[in-house]
Amino acid sequence: MPYTEQFVTSFQRWSDKTFSFKTTRPTDFHFENGEFVTIGLRPEGKLIARAYSIVSSNDADHLEFLSIHVPEGPLTSRLARIETGDSVWVNNKATGSLTLKHVQPGRHLYLLATGTGLAPFVCLVRSPEVYDAFERVILVHTVRTVKELAYKDEIESLTGGRFFYVPCVTREPFRNNIRCSDLFKSGELFSMTDSPHADPELDRVLICGNPEMVRDMRNHLNGQGWTMTNHSGVGNYSVEKAFVVHHS
């Protein structure tokens, strides 16, 4: 059976549109940091499932997920009401294109996220392996409202030394009223973090978020001589193509 029944151990609401939750972890479930897995609920016995990036690192004894809440969505409208002890069904196989294996070794790693596309990058920055692989790690997260800056306090507590966190809010007053893609394309991001301009020969980029941002960044990077990881080889940037972050 490809799915196992797991149980909710905690739930946190970040905003009216976003929430996260933890579940038990199957004993034989293995994944690379940055991957996603299909999870679901069985209302009236029929499985409703969607792909979710895993927020918890692969050495944790639980699984953690970040979700958007679509009021009429067949899955998220139900997930938004789960409580401790409720069942969640987890597929036995994780996959994805946002692991450290999906970019070549390099100098600086840029993680660009919008909304719940933050999830795989929280997993990565929680793990020591990313700091072993890169001199600097720069996470840029864009949301519409301040409350949607999920995990902000935890991420800020990691900031310092070789890790930089740049939160951006587009529809409320905030110190960074700009999209992550615009920060990167304009070069402002590099002056903010006292870094040299991103160089495809030296630096690496991982991208996860809404399709418009992903498309915008792909066009920009391709135009600047970057190469995306695909079936023909590992490049200097990678995007999560398998699912749209805004779940239903």
Nearest CA to 31 out of 10, 8, 52, 7 is that of 52
Residues 111 and 228 in one domain: yes
d(CA 2, CA 185): 42
Give the domain range for residue 35. Answer: 3-91
Assigned domain for 68 exists: yes
Strand, helix or coil at 110? strand
Assigned domain for 15 exists: yes
Number of structural domains (the chain) is 2
Residues 137 and 208 in one domain: yes
Assigned domain for 245 exists: no
Q: What is the CATH number of the domain that holds 229?
A: 3.40.50.80
pTM of the model: 0.96
Residues 159 and 43 in one domain: no
For 103-161, what is each residue's pLDDT tens digit? 999 999 999 999 999 999 999 999 999 999 999 999 999 999 999 999 999 999 999 88
Assigned domain for 85 exists: yes
Assigned domain for 140 exists: yes
Q: Decide if pLDDT at 246 tops 60.
A: no
Assigned domain for 213 exists: yes
Residues 104 and 197 in one domain: yes
For 3-55, what is each residue's pLDDT tens digit? 999 999 999 999 999 999 999 999 999 999 999 999 999 998 999 999 999 99
